[in-house]
Amino acid sequence: MPRTHASLDDLSNEVLIQIAEYADAGAWERLPLRLSVYGVLSRVNRRLHDFALPYLFFRIRIPVTTLNGKYALKPRPLVKLLRLLQDDQDYGRYIRSVLSERYPPAIEDMRRHLQVGRATYSYGVDAATDQSTFKAASQHAWEFLDTDRPSWDLDSFTCFLIGCNTTTLHILRSCRHLTTLSMYWLGPDFPDLMPFPQLETLRLQGPPVNFLERRSKLVRPCTSLRTLNMRGDVGIPANFTEELATLFPVLQVLALAEAPLTSKHVLRMIISHEALEEVSIDLKSRCILGNILDVTSGRVCEWPLALNADEDHPRTPRDYQYLWRRVMTTGFAFVREKALPINGLRPYTPFNLTSLALKVAEDADNIVADPLLALLDKPPKMSSMQTVRHLALSIEPSRSFRMFPRDDSVSDFMEHLGKQLAKWKNLETFTFVFSFIQRYWSALGFDDPVLDDGQQPSVALYEEEDFPMTTRGILEFRVAENINDMDDVEHALEEAAGMLGRSVTLDDEDVNLDELWLSRRENEFASCVRKMAERCPKLREFNWYARDHWPGVSWAWRIRRKRDGGVQAVSGKASHEGASFRQGGLALKELSWPSATPSL
């Protein structure tokens, strides 16, 4: 009789389960999931695939890594799990537990720091994400993590990779020593912080704001919170604006970006909470500078609910006639400290500002034609402004050519800027977001329309998809947009060839026009910064960004001084890759300059 050959497909499910359990008890468990017993069976045929799939996803083990003593779930397996659930959420009914490896022995006795994915939030809120699918998949992921988990007692928890919700907080409820909580928040309401009596720092990032006035239910106080950073729609509590000082009595740092609040709400919060030391606001609504300084310095003790932030307060102080009060802003940040009152008759608590950042907005009424001149030519003579050591100004590119309009060259503009900054007697650092559009660089004695333009050659190409970011793409786009003609292109190629010491063509992919543009600027820019430093006796840092929220060149300058205060050396580092300015970079905790800033 011919011998019959049995196969796995001939075995019953009960027998297959026994074989798989026996195999999993050995070294198979150390193999990747696809090479496990059920992973192999799921790829044999349709029948074994249907049998093995529920067991394959019954228990998922997330690998663990450590970095500087911190316990972190590796992000890639979680991303794969999330994508799997987004593609077909039916897989969720197979999964019964998600396990992580045990804590490494080296940090067994340390407080736990759990991190999922990147450690920092992104500045922009991703509007392209399918929020409904993302929320559903994130909910599945946290439910799985909650099924079989260790008894965590964390010091910090960070998760911006997948969305967090009330289930996440349920998992963390045992963390009585938690001091830092950072999440991409998808919950319908503001997170309840009562389970964390030692929480000091809360960072929340949410989806884009759809309803400006949406409010979640009332939130309970957190008396230990000192730093609060919120970006996007994170469910602002209904009692947040009016009861900020009651909810977070020791709050010192407040940062809000793209939140469902208006500038007048922010002004009311600052007035009501005298413990605030650092504030960073980046909203869509506008606010005049006079109101910002009146509120932050403590000169205004109340803000009527019916009064908008771009309108003058009825109790405006005497210096109303100064033009700088009418400068319109869409964002501001400051660091302040309490000042000693001159006499005991003041009805308010005075503050001195040590750091100030402003985003100058478009003025539809054109009341202030040159905001830069209005700000710097006659600095606010308030006592709170005499102590400003760190100043940052961001000017929209559409308005930059109106600033100091008589200064056509960059050198003349920078010299004029230095004269104005010299009026700020205590200035130590100055950060300037400004485009030199319609101005030219001239110190080299050349006049190349491309390589000596006020902006780097590729600046107009960042949002174009039809032209590649190559030498040919950049130059052809400038011709197509009538920025330059073909004679200018030929001249630019000749200049590039002279700088590189070889022939250069349109199809030369080894040529970076932005790098060549920067190299031609360095000596001239260094000379401008040195002259500025000589006029400003305390200036030690000057940071320049060509753009605000999309890539552009940036330059960081450091000024070393002699013992007598004179300028010893000026050194700078440029970035042509596009480090973008972020509102709120000043000093200390949340308001430190972004890591993308070129540093020496």
Q: 499-515: per-residue pLDDT in tens?
A: 888 998 888 888 888 88
Query: In the structure encoding, which two tokens stand for residue 243, read together?
Result: 């009861």
H-type alpha helices, 231-285: 244-247, 263-272
C-alpha 401/C-alpha 437 separation (Å) is 6
pLDDT band at 114 (very low <50, low <70, confident <90, very high): low
Q: Which helix (H) or strand (E) holds 87?
A: helix 75-87
Structural domain contains residue 411 = no
Q: Which amino acid is at 44?
A: V
Beta strands 180-185; 154-164: pairing state: parallel
Q: What is the band of 93 on the pLDDT scale with cuts at 50, 70, 90?
A: low
Question: Does position 584 have pLDDT exceeding 50, yes or no?
Answer: no
User: Residue 122's closest CA among 157, 161, 166?
Assistant: 161
Share of residues in the chain with pLDDT > 70 (%):
64
**DSSP letter string, 511-546:** --HHHHHHHHHHHHHHHHHHHHHHHSTT--EEEEES
220: DSSP letter: -
Residue 216 vs residue 289, higher pLDDT: 289
DSSP assignment of 159-199, as one string?
EEEEEE-HHHHHHGGG-TT--EEEEEE--SSPPP-TT-TT-
Looking at the domain assignment, is residue 25 inside a domain?
yes
Provide the token pair at 235: 């469910």
| Cβ neighbours for 216, distance < 8 A, ≥ 6 positions apart | 188, 189, 190, 235, 236, 237, 238
Using alpha carbons, select from 77, 98, 102, 12 the residue that is nearest to residue 51: 12
Task: Find the range with the poorest average confidence among 230-244, 441-455, 530-544.
Answer: 441-455
Evaluate if residue 597 carries a pLDDT over 50.
no
Please calculate the CA angle 21-25-31 and round it to the nearest 5 degrees: 100
Q: CA 197, CA 199: separation in Å to the nearest integer?
A: 6
- Reported residue count of the chain is 600
Q: Is residue 21 part of a domain?
A: yes
Secondary structure (3-state) at 158: strand
Report for 27-31, 157-161, 318-322, 459-463: range of highest mean pLDDT: 157-161
Under 8 Å between Cβ of 396 and 362 = yes
As a whole number of angstroms, the distance between CA 319 and CA 382 comes to 9
On whether residue 18 sits in a domain, the answer given is yes
Q: Is the pLDDT of residue 45 over 70?
A: yes
Secondary structure percentages of the chain, helix, strand, coil, to 5: 30, 20, 50
- pLDDT-derived band at 82, boundaries 50, 70, 90: low
Q: Is the pLDDT of residue 60 over 60?
A: no
The answer to whether residue 252 sits within a structural domain is no
Q: Which of 157-166, 306-315, 463-472, 591-600 has the lowest mean pLDDT?
A: 591-600
Range of the domain at 30: 8-56
Nearest to 272 by CA among 234, 301, 299, 252: 301
Query: In 10 A of CB 371, how many CB atoms?
Result: 25
pLDDT of residue 444: 55
Q: What is the mean pLDDT of the chain?
A: 75
Please state which of the ranges 248-252, 330-334, 428-432, 587-591 shows the lowest mean pLDDT. 587-591
User: What is the pLDDT, as a whole number, of residue 421?
Assistant: 92
pLDDT bucket at 263, cuts 50 / 70 / 90? confident
Q: Which helix (H) or strand (E) holds 376?
A: helix 371-377
In percent, the amount of the chain with pLDDT more than 90 equals 14
Amino acid 591: pLDDT: 46
Q: pLDDT tens-digit profile of 2-33?
A: 555 556 666 676 666 666 665 555 555 555 55
**Residue 355: is its pLDDT beyond 80?**
yes
Q: Report the predicted TM-score, pTM, of the whole model to 2 decimal places.
A: 0.76
Q: How far is CA 588 from the centre of its chain?
A: 16
Q: Are 134 and 186 in contact (CB under 8 A)?
A: yes
Model confidence at 438, pLDDT cuts 50, 70, 90, reads confident
- Specify if 211 maps to a domain: no
What's the confidence (pLDDT) of residue 589?
Answer: 41
pLDDT in tens, 190-245: 999 999 999 999 999 888 776 555 566 788 899 999 999 988 888 888 888 888 99
148 has pLDDT over 60:
no
Q: Please choose, from the candidates 268, 89, 48, the residue with its C-alpha nearest in 3D space to the C-alpha of residue 281.
A: 268
Residue 336 pLDDT greater than 50, yes or no: yes
14 belongs to a structural domain: yes
Question: How many domains would you assign to the chain?
Answer: 1
What is the rounded distance in angstroms from the CA atom of residue 199 to the CA atom of residue 196? 6
Choose between 263 and 95: higher pLDDT.
263
Q: Is residue 32 part of a domain?
A: yes
- Reduce the DSSP state of residue 461 to 3 states and report it: helix
Do 566 and 538 touch, CB atoms closer than 8 A? no
pLDDT interval class at 595 (50, 70, 90): very low
pLDDT in tens, 378-433: 766 666 677 889 999 988 777 776 788 778 888 888 999 999 999 888 999 999 98
